[in-house]
Amino acid sequence: MRVASKTDRALILRRFRYGESSLVVHALTPRFGRIALLAKGAYRLRSGYFGVLDLFDTLELTWRDSRTDLGTLAAARILCRRRGLSGDLDRYRAGISMLELARLGAREKCEEARLFAHTEGALEGLQEAAVDPGMALIAFDLGWLALSGLAPAFENCAACGRSSLSSLRSPEAFFSHGGGGLLCSTCRTASRSPGEQVVALPWKVVQTAHTLATTPPEHLPRLRLCPQPVVEVGQLVARFLEYHLERRLRSRKGPDAPERRGSRGKLRLR
């Protein structure tokens, strides 16, 4: 029985060598979510896939599903090449971090149009020389959290919904990773249970986080933010992701991870 082929736009999330000359790719597509495909002979110079199945580019893939999870790639072409990301180490690392998080959020063989658009837009924006790669990654992470239903509360109390917290007299904001964001003083007192960590943050950090969470990627090049609060937002978002994913992302381990470099501010535990 002949298997009908599928065609969709795609971003390569991961690649593994398979045998002498083939490649297995994991890709994110708008209509079919995360897919795994075998690209037979991809490393042969005369293969139609040679130099096509690269990270960061938007591709069009055609494949046939099989009874296993691994489909077979039948055709691939580049729709948008993003060479700017491979030639700059900071942009490359930020792009790899985006792809790792996109992979964790992508469901298999389900529509993921919003995640695809978010990831593709972030990679496109990362090419802009005026965009700081660390800031672009934070904005991507915050967008990813929003798409996953985990957006941290930066305006209202995450527990009771009380608004306008920054207008209260408290000199610092209180943020709970487990509680989902800012806490008002009443909910902060109520949440003092063992294991529930609440960190004190300058309001400037909260405002910077809110700005990064609400700025579309195409407006990032024109965004002017103080560097130090951005570094602290990066630390905050990294810990928020770790808490909710229950792991540290592989691409962000070590002192050179994008959102850790240049960090000086320490979050104080309360």
Question: Under the rule (CB under 5 A), what is the footprint of Zn ion?
Answer: 157, 159-160, 162, 184, 187
Smallest gap from Cβ 129 to Zn ion, in A, equals 42
Using the minimum distance from each CB to Zn ion, give the nearer residue, 165 or 212. Answer: 165
Rounded to whole angstroms, the Cα distance separating 117 from 131 reads 19
Smallest gap from Cβ 161 to Zn ion, in A, equals 7
Using the minimum distance from each CB to Zn ion, give the nearer residue, 98 or 157. Answer: 157
φ, ψ for residue 25, nearest 5 deg? -120, 140
Element at 13 (helix H, strand E): strand 5-18
What's the one-letter identity of residue 35?
I
Using the minimum distance from each CB to Zn ion, give the nearer residue, 75 or 160. Answer: 160
Angle between helical axes of 89-105 and 133-147 (0-180°, round to 10): 10
Q: 241: helix, coil or strand?
A: helix
Smallest gap from Cβ 122 to Zn ion, in A, equals 32
* CA-based torsion, 154, 159, 161, 164: positive or negative: negative
**Alpha-carbon radius of gyration of the chain:** 21
* CA-based torsion, 74, 62, 52, 30: positive or negative: negative
Rounded to whole angstroms, the Cα distance separating 154 from 21 reads 50
Using the minimum distance from each CB to Zn ion, give the nearer residue, 38 or 157. Answer: 157
Alpha-carbon distance values, 45 to 42, 51, 196, 216, 266 (Å): 8, 9, 56, 40, 50
Smallest gap from Cβ 189 to Zn ion, in A, equals 10
Smallest gap from Cβ 162 to Zn ion, in A, equals 5
Q: 11: helix, coil or strand?
A: strand
Smallest gap from Cβ 177 to Zn ion, in A, equals 16
To which residue do tokens 């063989």 refer? 109
Closest to 33 measured CA to CA, from 116, 96, 97: 116
Using the minimum distance from each CB to Zn ion, give the nearer residue, 143 or 152. Answer: 152
Rounded to whole angstroms, the Cα distance separating 116 from 93 reads 19
Using the minimum distance from each CB to Zn ion, give the nearer residue, 184 or 212. Answer: 184
Smallest gap from Cβ 200 to Zn ion, in A, equals 16
Using the minimum distance from each CB to Zn ion, give the nearer residue, 115 or 184. Answer: 184
